[in-house]
Structure 1
Amino acid sequence: MTSLKSYLLTGIAGAAVLAASMTSASAETWRYAFEEALDEVQGVFAQKFKEEVEANSDHTVQLFPYGTLGESADIMEQAQSGILQFVDQSPGFTGSLIPEAQVFFVPYLLPQDEEDLFEFFRTSVAVNEMFPELYADQGLELLTMFPEGEVCMTTKEPVTSPEDLNEVKFRVMTNPLLVESYQAFGATPTPLPWGEVYGGLQTNIIQGQENPMFFIESTKMYEVTDYITCAGHNNFTTAVMANKDFFDGLPDEDQLMIESAIDVAFEHILEYQQGLHEESIEKIKEAKPEMTINILSEEERQPFKDAAATVEEAFIEMTGESGKEILDQMKEDLNQVTN
């Protein structure tokens, strides 16, 4: 009896070891890169995603904040080649890869009201059904898109009308439609990698740039500019993607787990952003009391809106019928949440 008991215990122990080794073999480390620091909006989203994945699977997620793997173009190449499993990148940088994604840079298209904006990203047919097909054509599984905050301009001189941007060398992302927008506003658009922006402002190679307020504060753009102008022209949008071959090769349970983690992180980041714009303004004022922050009135915004009409036309010219379909669907989606 003792030998039989020993044999059974040995067998059970062996099975446990085998099961543990099988679990260990199936557990993977997934790499996820994004365009901001760990404590900025994309980083907060990534951390929540990592937390959810690791709580609900044996997988681990390794995070790579901005600069650790190169510039935006570098991490996109790494995601497409499968070196990275996940990447968070703004359509501002994927515009040349997926021209239709530039629609997010049509000025005054997205609503100013935060709740309307959030509901648009939750329910939009364009975002949740049409864009995934376009990203798939580039070897990318679009997992979600989300807003990061109203974009404001930082400049060395005051801006109250498009005339004030005349001949101002204004840094833009390498995005043809963003170039078109600032040309329409009267500036001289200057595409520049993010790593060169602070130094470019410091040495007067450029005299302006745009970003959400939290990013202006965290990257200390106020140190090398004197005016912040909010014209209500846009809200920064970003997209979280997976390498499509990687994602398609996962078991169904892992795909569902990733989608659930994305959903949780999406709602978390919307909640996190509430009041962030205003908090960032207060931090900037505290750090640099002489900084002028100007929120343009509706009357002051009108000339910018008038100038922006040509940008929508340029978008359709750049992207053809597919771009027009996306734009029309977005307008319909926006109409559903704002009326």
Structure 2
Amino acid sequence: MLLKKVLGTAVASVLVAGMVACGGSEDKTATNATAESKGQNWRYAHEEYENDVQDVFAYKFKEYIEANSAHSLQVFRFGELGESDDIMEQTQAGILQFVNQSPGFTGSLIPEAQIFFIPYLLPVEEAHIMAFFKKSKAIKEIFPKLYAEQGLELLTMYPEGEVVLTTDEPIRSPDDLQGKNIRTMTNPLLLETYKAFGGIPTLLPWGEVYGGLQTNILQGQENPLFWIESGGLYEVSPHLTFTGHNQFTTAMMANKEFFDGLSAKDQTLIKAATDYAFNYMTEYVPGLGEKKLQAIMDASDEVTVTRLTAAERQVFIDRAPQVEQKFVEITGESGQALLEQFKADLKASAIQ
């Protein structure tokens, strides 16, 4: 883990040194017209591995940018520039032009982003969740202002799939989670969720999760199925439980100073590339979880799958209001207004 961190820092240093040489937005002497005609090399980092959801999005974005301009896009995957907090810092500093990051990590910068971790707020039904992300006023009108306060231009948000709990033994109730260390991201609301669910929320960087599960420091973690499959988590945490409590959400952003300094033509290009990638994901993500679940089942005969009954699920649902209340306590009036808009958006996007 330390080696990966050092390597990430070293790569970031090289990027800083090469900003002007590569024709990045930091070259203040270049005019927008010259930048458009000659093209720039833009840098984009995300949190996942090759062919994972964020990687697919990034390469669709890259495909559009490079097909419709003289610009090029360099994509960095998980670990190449450090952990999630590293790539966010590099984006805010202007070393990176674009970043894809879950609100689970952004919540430390933008407390309201933790709304995505209120259990049983977001639907897990794929048609409903996609309709919500396409139409939500909260995402399109409220969140961009919140991100802008942190020097970030929010370009889009999109779901990556239903969150599934993996543990060292099958889980059917909060009582089954008693005494179990469940890995969570550095997100106060996610900690509150697993306290409510009966477990012991345990903060741990992603790079240490597999080893923590393998050595029984951790007894569980949550993630969408594609990440459980690509990260091999089922090998060390083989009991999968569908609680239906959340969808994993991510956000794609640009450094705001970089974006605001672009010509109208380049800003339009970036927005069009974002729409192109988002529209692709609306077809790519639905059904992906079941494909990955089948791949997991094919790879291991130790894996078990538990889908809670309506009655079993209700026990967890009954514990969700205390997490929602914690969100309002953390965020105050702005969080309450956001929550009300979220609920209105969810109602408006419900599939009849």
For this structure pair, what is the TM-score category when the shorter chain's length is used for normalisation? Answer: over 0.9
- Whether 1:40 and 2:27 are equivalent positions in the alignment is no
Aligned to 1:13: none
1 CA distance for matches of 2:140 and 2:57? 18
Q: 3-state SS of the aligned residue for 1:43?
A: helix
2 CA distance for matches of 1:24 and 1:94? 31
Moved more, 205-214 or 267-276: 267-276
- Whether 1:192 and 2:193 are equivalent positions in the alignment is no
Assess, with a 3 A threshold, how the Cα gap between structure 1 residues 302 and 319 changes in structure 2: closer, same or farther: same
1 CA distance for matches of 2:285 and 2:306? 21
- Alignment RMSD: 1.2
Aligned to 2:249: 237
Q: Kindly state the Cα deviation for residue 136 of structure 1 after the two structures are TM-superposed.
A: 0.1
- Whether 1:134 and 2:133 are equivalent positions in the alignment is no
Aligned to 2:268: 256
2:278 aligned to which of 248, 263, 266: 266
Q: TM-score if structure 2 supplies the norm length? A: 0.89
2:135 aligned to which of 123, 128, 135: 123
Q: 3-state SS of the aligned residue for 2:330?
A: helix
1 CA distance for matches of 2:80 and 2:305? 32
- Whether 1:290 and 2:268 are equivalent positions in the alignment is no
1 CA distance for matches of 2:140 and 2:36? 34
1 CA distance for matches of 2:34 and 2:198? 62
2 CA distance for matches of 1:270 and 1:236? 14
Q: Kindly state the Cα deviation for residue 226 of structure 1 after the two structures are TM-superposed.
A: 2.4
1:87 aligned to which of 99, 104, 117: 99
Unaligned runs of 5+ in 1: 1-20
Q: Kindly state the Cα deviation for residue 290 of structure 1 after the two structures are TM-superposed.
A: 2.4
Aligned to 2:5: none
Q: Kindly state the Cα deviation for residue 73 of structure 1 after the two structures are TM-superposed.
A: 0.4
Stretches (4+) displaced over 4 A:
21-25
Cα contact 2:36–2:71 (8 A) shared by 1:
no
Q: 3-state SS of the aligned residue for 2:320?
A: helix
Aligned to 1:14: none
1:49 aligned to which of 56, 61, 70: 61
Aligned to 1:112: 124
Aligned to 2:337: 325
Aligned to 2:194: 182
Deviations 1:21-53 (A, max 9, x none): 957874100000000012000000000000000
1 CA distance for matches of 2:157 and 2:231? 23
Assess, with a 3 A threshold, how the Cα gap between structure 1 residues 23 and 227 changes in structure 2: closer, same or farther: closer
Aligned to 1:31: 43
Aligned to 1:154: 166
Output the amino acid matched with 2:260: D
Cα contact 2:36–2:266 (8 A) shared by 1:
no
2 CA distance for matches of 1:255 and 1:25? 15
Deviations 1:37-92 (A, max 9, x none): 12000000000000000001100000000000000000000000000000000000
Deviations 1:296-324 (A, max 9, x none): 12111001001111000000000000011
Q: 3-state SS of the aligned residue for 2:147?
A: helix
2 CA distance for matches of 1:174 and 1:277? 24
Q: Kindly state the Cα deviation for residue 233 of structure 1 after the two structures are TM-superposed.
A: 0.1
2 CA distance for matches of 1:24 and 1:309? 51
Q: Kindly state the Cα deviation for residue 274 of structure 1 after the two structures are TM-superposed.
A: 2.1
Assess, with a 3 A threshold, how the Cα gap between structure 1 residues 92 and 24 changes in structure 2: closer, same or farther: closer
Q: 3-state SS of the aligned residue for 2:78?
A: coil
Which has the larger Rg? 1
Unaligned runs of 5+ in 2: 1-32
Alignment length, in residue pairs?
319
- Whether 1:103 and 2:115 are equivalent positions in the alignment is yes
| Structure with the bigger percentage of helix | 1
Assess, with a 3 A threshold, how the Cα gap between structure 1 residues 259 and 24 changes in structure 2: closer, same or farther: closer
Assess, with a 3 A threshold, how the Cα gap between structure 1 residues 189 and 59 changes in structure 2: closer, same or farther: same
Q: TM-score if structure 1 supplies the norm length? A: 0.92
Aligned to 1:5: none
Cα contact 2:37–2:70 (8 A) shared by 1:
no
2 CA distance for matches of 1:133 and 1:43? 26
